[in-house]
Structure 1
Amino acid sequence: MYRVHFGHRYKNNGIFVNAAGGTGKSFVLNMLLDSVRSQSKIALAVASSGIAATVLKGGRTAHNIFKIPLMEYNEVRSCSIKKNSELAKLLELTSLIVWDEIVMANKNTLTALDITLRDVLENEKFMGGKVFVCAGDFRQILPVIRGGGKNEELEHCIKSSYMLNDLTNEGPVEFDEDFGVRVKSRQELVDKVYDDIENNHLNASYFEKRAIVSPTNDDVDNINQMIHEKLKEKEVVDNSVDVAVEEGTDIQTSVFNAMTSPSLPPHQLRVKVGSVLMIIRNICPPKLCNGTRIIVTNLKKNVSRENIRWKLPRRASDDT
């Protein structure tokens, strides 16, 4: 943020956020975007892919915003941005450029952007002197090279680019000892996050503000069960159909019933009034679609009723 206000004092304003997937890089980038935009400044958010761009606020693909041409993996060209164009004027007024999942990008696309910004903005500093914050994880997908192997991917990765010297990485971020609240067990974690759930099990805003992030689906299942047990309502158990349609088919249903999948409901679906469920099929678009969270408000023999629903980003480690 200091560079946003006083970037002219620095030799270059490139910053690289290098961290493992799921540690909050996109959260940090969105926080920076919000902070800059709240000061009536312009911040551009781009990503290497369309999926990654949807995570950023106002995000678009880098090729779309910067008019980066489609190039062969070993080709270097400039972007299709002309001086005195509307896009050039926008870039001149821009205070921050954010690029997420940059390790997926071919280094030549970054070179094309660097050359173009220096020319259009008439500034020989890195990226035309603009504050350029990028994020990525080198343990994830590297540039895809047609017909190439590992060596070709590494050769065209940003690590093999001259730009890496222009991107500052200050080292690991450390938290103070008193940061957050430490717990000794999962049960204590559940009790602290979902305190007073007995009186708020039909309150959608209560669940919207709470989440427990876990790295594995097994942990998610265990934590979900702990939260489920805190509900004092009567439990209803629904079993999936496990009878073979064709006669003479020898199927060990017990084996299939014991299997679990993130995209399928369990064989035994245990539900209470107040349970938070997620729809995994498009039942009645646009209200009841895949990814919609619902709170069960009434249970009958063959029917469950809900009248509270909301949409949240779907991820494998959700606690609901």
Structure 2
Amino acid sequence: MTQEEALDILKLGHNVFLTGAAGSGKTYLLNRYIAHLRAHGVGVAVTASTGIAATHLGGQTIHSWSGIGIRDALSDDELRALVLRSRVARNFKKVKVLVIDEVSMLHAHQLDMVERVLRHTLDFTKPFGGLQVVLCGDFFQLPPVTRDDGSREKTFAYEGAAWDTGAFAVCYLSEQFRQGDDPLLSVLNSIRNGEAGEKAKIPLRTRYKKDPSFAHASAGRPTSTVFPTRLYARNINVDVINGKELAKISGAEKVFRMETHGFRALVETLMKSCLALPELHLKVGAEVMFVKNAIDGSYVNGTRGVVDAFTKEGGWPVVRTFQGKKITAHPEEWRLEDGGTVRASLTQVPLRLAWAITIHKSQGMTLDTAEVDLSDAFEPGMGYVALSRVRTLSGLKLMGLNETALSVHPKILAHDKKFRAWSDAVRAALAKAGDKEKKNLQEEVLFTRFKGSRDKELVQKIRTDKEKKKKRATHLITAEFLEKKMPLAAIATERGLTEGTLLGHMEKLKGAHALPDVAYLKKDIRDFEKIFAAFQKSSDGTLTPIFEKFGGAHSFDTLKLVRLFV
């Protein structure tokens, strides 16, 4: 299926599973559809199965957006509480389309939970509450991560009940924009077809420990001296290589230490979802990679370069990218939010040494050159992900290969044939529809079902006007009262708000590192020291266990107030 055919199907409002080989343009097509919706004022939620994948689309994780968090199950009581949360309800009610990228890394039970929450919040009679759901990904790539204790079997998203009830139209993209007609493409296709035998290994052997060539030299980096990104299966290999390479460089080493805020378990969750390091060791001449998308677009997750210098003020690294651009890498913040409140945050320079990275971290990247070691591959799909990062076979330097590397999960191999057949059926049905009929149906979806605007200029004007007229944030007004050392009850009366609302403002201020000194509020809290000690022992700051520990003697508002001091 071509991108244009898939775009037509998306515009018809069907729930869609958008798939295809690596480099077939899935993310590009998603961005086109998202831009189309937003241009007409249609609310679209852009999410992904992992934090890294979410950054590629400028979205957030599906776990955060839907409110399911890191749960493996959702009880009836938890569902009722979740549906009542204003932030979750607000997320759902303002969107008509939900996008979930990298669905291969989403467990079936997680998609089922998302469907259940949406149905209970929006419309119980319709799958996913009536939203158009667009799933995107390639099941030949990395599968869902399972717990080390083996307590839950690995199940793919398409094996869940939500996939069946969603009746997803499959759009299997067939065009290739990364490898083109390069010999590497035949190797990748062999892996996808489960035929990666001796024939597939022949072209790979031609790249065994052979330095890669680069089709176009980068500014300041002659073709012959372009160093490939090294991809390895395990973190320990990556850390060792990066450490050795850094040690080879003479000169002073600078260390940048991560700053964290929030409860331990939440901080740990946040650290797992981003690529920033607790300690970043750099020297002038170090090969680095940006691990976050810049708000101004000056760099993206995966932009590579060399540390050229450190600034005189602040000592921040100046990176010369392989395209010759100089960028000062200032600290960036990653946040874990709940209900608009920052529960955990970390701040670090958005770089990591990039002589080597793990294959898991490389998913979603496109590399001109790569040195790949698959001798330690431990998961089906690893070889496919690593090899498909590279544009051409000549850009590959293969250091090792084992049998697992070129394997794919047997369940995926069997189901892929069904995906292809279903996609062909969808394409045939689309071809039967006349252009006029198709256009009428698409307009009905856009303007009636999604309530989009026909006047794109008006949509843009409204968006611009909202930004200009945006009133001062109410939590900042609360901060002014707190600076005057006023009691919460007095502020609530003055502002016509509940104390619970004010506590929400204070949590938001704390998350933004803008909470004034509120130590004066401690004196009015009975058993402050005991409650504070209980929170210090908590790994995630959840209120209910603390509430139960004290037998309900203290209100949730009181507990929230104490939690602000932890």
**What's the TM-score once normalised by structure 2's chain length?**
0.33
Pairing 1:109–2:110 present: yes
Distance change (3 Å), C-alpha of 1:218 and 1:280: farther
Assess, with a 3 A threshold, how the Cα gap between structure 1 residues 159 and 5 changes in structure 2: closer, same or farther: closer
- CA gap 1:293/1:56 in 2 versus in 1, 3 angstroms: same
Give the drift of 1:51: 0.7
Q: What's the counterpart of residue 41 of structure 2?
A: 40
State the SS of the aligned residue for 2:306.
coil
Equivalent residue pairs, number? 225
Once the 2 structures are TM-superposed, how far is the Cα of residue 52 of structure 1 from its aligned partner? 0.5
SS of the equivalent of 2:124 reads: coil
Give the match's secondary structure for 1:103.
Answer: helix
Q: Indicate the SS of the match to 1:133.
A: strand
Relative distance call for 1:220 and 1:28 in structure 2 (3 A) is farther
Alignment of 1:1-320 (within 5 A): 7=13, 13-57=14-58, 59-72=59-72, 75-77=73-75, 81-83=82-84, 85-147=86-148, 152-153=153-154, 156-165=155-164, 166-173=166-173, 221-224=213-216, 261-262=228-229, 279-281=305-307, 283-284=309-310, 288-289=318-319, 292-295=321-324, 309=326, 315-317=366-368
Once residues 174 and 86 of structure 2 are traced to their aligned partners in structure 1, the CA distance between those partners, rounded to angstroms, is 44
What is the aligned partner in structure 2 of residue 273 from structure 1?
A: none
| Per-residue deviation, residues 206-262 of structure 1 (Å, max 9, x unmatched) | xxxxxxxxxx998972413xx68xx9xxx99999xxxxxxxxxxxxxxxxxxx9643
Asked whether the 8 Å contact 1:294–1:309 carries over to 2, the reply is: no
Equivalent residues of 2:19, 2:170 under 8 A apart? no
Aligned letter for 1:317? D
Cα 1:171–1:71 change in 2 (3 A) is closer
* Counterpart contact for 1:4–1:131, Cα < 8 Å: no
Q: In structure 2, the residue corresponding to 1:36 is in which secondary structure? A: helix
8 Å CA contact 1:122–1:128 kept in 2: the answer is yes
2:57 partner amino acid: L
Kindly provide the amino acid, as one letter, of the partner of residue 136 in structure 2: A
Partners of 1:184 and 1:158 in 2: how far apart?
A: 31
Unaligned runs of 5+ in 1: 8-12, 186-215, 240-258, 265-276, 296-307
Is the 2:212–2:228 contact (alpha carbons within 8 Å) kept by the matching residues of 1?
Answer: no
Q: 1:146 to 1:5 in 2, by over 3 A?
A: closer
What CA distance in whole angstroms lies between the structure 1 residues aligned with 2:317 and 2:38?
Answer: 32
Letter in 1 for 2:213: D
User: Residue 293 of structure 1: CA displacement?
Assistant: 3.9
1:133 CA displacement: 0.3
SS in 2 for 1:110: helix
Q: Secondary structure at the match of 2:118?
A: helix
Query: Which amino acid in 1 is paired with 2:161?
Result: Y
The aligned amino acid for 1:223 is A
- Rate the CA distance shift 1:133–1:314 in 2: closer, same or farther, 3 A: closer
- Whether the 8 Å CA contact 1:103–1:136 is kept in 2: the answer is yes
Cα deviation, residue 172, structure 1? 3.5
State the 1:138 CA deviation: 1.1
The alpha-carbon distance between structure 1 residues 310 and 85, as it changes in their structure 2 partners (threshold 3 A), is same
Instruction: Output the CA distance in 2 between the equivalents of 1:66 and 1:93.
Output: 13
- Unaligned segments of structure 2, at least 5 residues: 1-6, 183-206, 231-244, 246-302, 329-363, 370-390, 392-566
Distance 1:282 1:160, change over 3 A: farther
Contact 1:293 1:309 in 2 (8 A): no
Q: Structure 2 CA distance, aligned partners of 1:71 and 1:184?
A: 44
Structural RMSD (CA): 4.5
Contact 2:213 2:224 in 1 (8 A): no
Residues 122-167 of structure 1: per-residue CA shift (max 9 Å, x gap)? 3321111101001111112212222467x922xx221321233324
Question: 2:104 touches 2:139 (CA, 8 Å); kept in 1?
Answer: yes
Decide whether aligned partners of structure 1 residues 2 and 88 sit closer, same or farther in structure 2, where only a CA change above 3 A counts.
farther
TM-fit CA distance, 1:4: 7.9
Residue pair 2:47, 2:62 contacting (<8 A) in 1 also: yes
For 1:64 and 1:27, locate their aligned partners in 2 and report how far apart those are by CA, in whole Å.
24
